[in-house]
Structure 1
Amino acid sequence: MPKYAHRLVPSPAGRIHLVEEGAGPLVLLVHGFPESWYSWRHQLPALAAAGYRAAAVDVRGYGRSSKPADVAAYRMVDLVEDAVAAVRGLGEDTAAIVGHDWGAGIAAHAALLRPDVFTAVAMLSVPYTPPGGPRPSEAFARMGGDEEFYVAYFQEPGRAEAEIEPDVRGWLAGVYAALSAGTMPPPGAPDPHFVSRGGRMRDRFPSGPLPGWLSEADLDVYAAEFERTGLTGGLNRYRNMDRDWEDLAAHAGAPIAQPSLFVGGALDATTTWLSAAVKAFPVTLPGLVASHLLDDCGHWVQQERPEEVNRILTGWLAGL
């Protein structure tokens, strides 16, 4: 693994772990579930080479960052404050923020709630959906019919942990493959985003080789982090969606005005489920610079297609 500069900075939760490379304007990189700062290993050197100070965060509950015991400590407003603390801890006043998966949601809400700090925002895989709408727990409970949507499956503390933690490495390999181009289940196969009543998510994961973007050594890095920390911190993000809905009610329907970017995978189910959010970008993201949908790409866009994503990100940043 390349040698990066690691540091811990104070935050409302205790401390946040950052990995950084380069000098210049700050770009803060925020990962999703189930990942870590390591998800940005291809972007850190590329951004540094392009003249930016790139910093990848371990989100609260992951890696070397603090892991509060209280489930409510993982609400979106707290994660936004962690992002602000990361910028301040690096000695900066402002930053562009880039997020993937749940990190895209954190990045978007950081731009929405703290435009004084986050001057531009890029979202990978998950498009911006303004606060508001139906209560999330009720909406997810209605999905799936006789099956259970994975977000609903994650709600009960300890339930998903009991599935994942006895074999973290195997579960991670399965979920990465299930959502990757080339290894995801074929059309018509049972959808790995849903769980049979009484079943497990991993029952629908593919059992073949790792996706091409993921080496055994990469998987070792991810597995070692979660074997050390457990999965509760990451899963607690899902367990705060109703709290977020209440916390952000005053921002219902609010657009993000800063320059923005979206990059998704054409084979990612998220881009299908949230296609209406993408169509709404002229209203919800009036500062949108570009929106890219990468052919033959699944959910893990910056790892599946690192060179293409690096070109898009550096081009977007250069134009700000």
Structure 2
Amino acid sequence: MRLHTTTWGSGDRIALLVHGLMADHRTWRRVGPALAERGYRAIAVDLRGHGASGRAPGTEGYRPCDHADDLVETLQSGAELAVGHSLGALVLAQAVERLKPARAVYSDPAWHLGAGPAGFRAELFVRGRSMTREQVKGFNPHWADEDLDVEMASVRDWDERTAYALDAFRGADMWPAGAVVPSLVTLADPSTLVPPGAARMLEGRGFALRTVAGAGHTVHRDDFDGFMSALEGWI
């Protein structure tokens, strides 16, 4: 499936941006322009089932491999930089060998969806659709008003079947075997998706890790300045 894309800038260097579950290209509203100021042409996708991209005919069409295939079909290979957040980091890792960016950044990646009561539960995400703006603000006290507006809009445009499709991958080992290209992992503080033991494992597999102090899961919206600082030397 060819995905809807949004572009900031017109530089010679290309940066690819891949959002997480329930979001779309609008989550990069500050990151895209910031990269454009640094000479990039920043291209953000809407994953299938999100934003203005198409929908799969059924839940089975929303597997991580389907999202990864869409990235390869939509985006050109050989970009200078590719950035994926959460689900976007998961599918970017599955597409990176084919996309061949010069560098990759994985932000609080969803490479392991824990099983059990404390693990991934699609119904919790679906239940989040009914949250009010004030409730979203309560869970994300550091977000700017514009990010709250974006969240409310992107959730309205989201196909909840994308969450139910991930239920089949709870507890699965989706950790990348190694860094295919020079790769940075930026982490929330603390990260529930990449606990300390997993962080040490990733370092052993060739990934550089940087934690953004005090940031929540959506690092680039929780602390934009901290996120961009963590990218220094990589962008």
Normalising by structure 2, report the TM-score. Answer: 0.84
Are 2:206 and 1:278 equivalent residues in the alignment? no
- Aligned residue number for residue 81 of structure 1: 69
Shift of 1:87: 1.3
Q: Do the aligned partners of residues 160 and 69 (structure 1) sit closer, same or farther apart at CA in structure 2, a change above 3 Å counting? A: farther
CA distance in 2, matches of 1:40, 1:164: 21
Counterpart of 1:213, as a letter, is W
Deviation at 1:58, TM superposition (A): 1.1
Residue type at the aligned position of 1:42: R
Deviations 1:33-72 (A, max 9, x none): 2322111111111111111111111111101011113111
Query: Aligned partners of 2:17 and 2:161: how far apart in 1?
Result: 19
| Residue 100 (structure 2) pairs with residue 117 (structure 1) | yes
Query: Following the alignment from structure 1 to structure 2, what is the Cα–Cα distance between the partners of residues 224 and 127?
Result: 23
Q: 1:126 aligns with which of 94, 109, 112?
A: 109
From the CA coordinates, give the structure whose radius of gyration is larger.
1
Deviation at 1:233, TM superposition (A): 4.1
Instruction: Indicate how the Cα distance of structure 1 residues 69 and 40 shifts in structure 2: closer, same or farther if over 3 A, else same.
Output: same
| 1:182-241 Cα deviation digits (max 9, x unpaired) | xxxxxxxxxxxxxxxxxxxxxxxxxxxxx13231x43233223332x3441441452342
Deviations 1:253-278 (A, max 9, x none): 7222310011112234334xx32221
Match of 2:160 in 1: 232
Q: Would you say 1:312 and 2:233 are equivalent positions?
A: no
Q: Corresponding residue for 1:257?
A: 180
Q: Which amino acid aligns with 2:78?
A: T
8 A contact 2:203–2:209 mirrored in 1:
no
For the pair 1:94 / 2:94, whether they are aligned, the reply is no
- 1:19 and 2:2 correspond: no
Q: Does 1:149 align with 2:118?
A: yes
Aligned to 2:152: 223
Instruction: Give SS of 1:270's match.
Output: coil
Q: Which moved more, 1:25-34 or 1:274-283?
A: 274-283
Q: Percent identity?
A: 25
Cα distance in 1 for residues equivalent to 2:125 and 2:23 = 16
CA distance in 2, matches of 1:36, 1:118: 21
Matches within 5 A, 1:24-103: 24-88=12-76, 93-95=77-79, 96-103=81-88
Residues 1:281 and 1:160: Cα distance change in structure 2 (over 3 Å): closer
What secondary structure, in the 3-state scheme, does the structure 1 residue paired with 2:95 have? Answer: helix
Cα pair distance change 1:98/1:160, threshold 3 Å: closer
Q: Which runs of 5+ in 2 are unaligned?
A: none
* Cα distance in 2 for residues equivalent to 1:85 and 1:28: 13
The superposition leaves residues 150-189 of structure 1 with CA deviations (integer Å, 9 ceiling, x where unpaired) of 52x317xxx864x344x2x52x7545643x4xxxxxxxxx
TM-score, normalization by structure 1: 0.64
Contact kept, 8 Å, 1:32 with 1:101, in 2: the verdict is yes
- Cα gap change, 1:104/1:301 in structure 2, threshold over 3 Å: closer, same or farther? same
Match of 1:104 in 2: 89
Equivalent pairs counted in the alignment come to 233
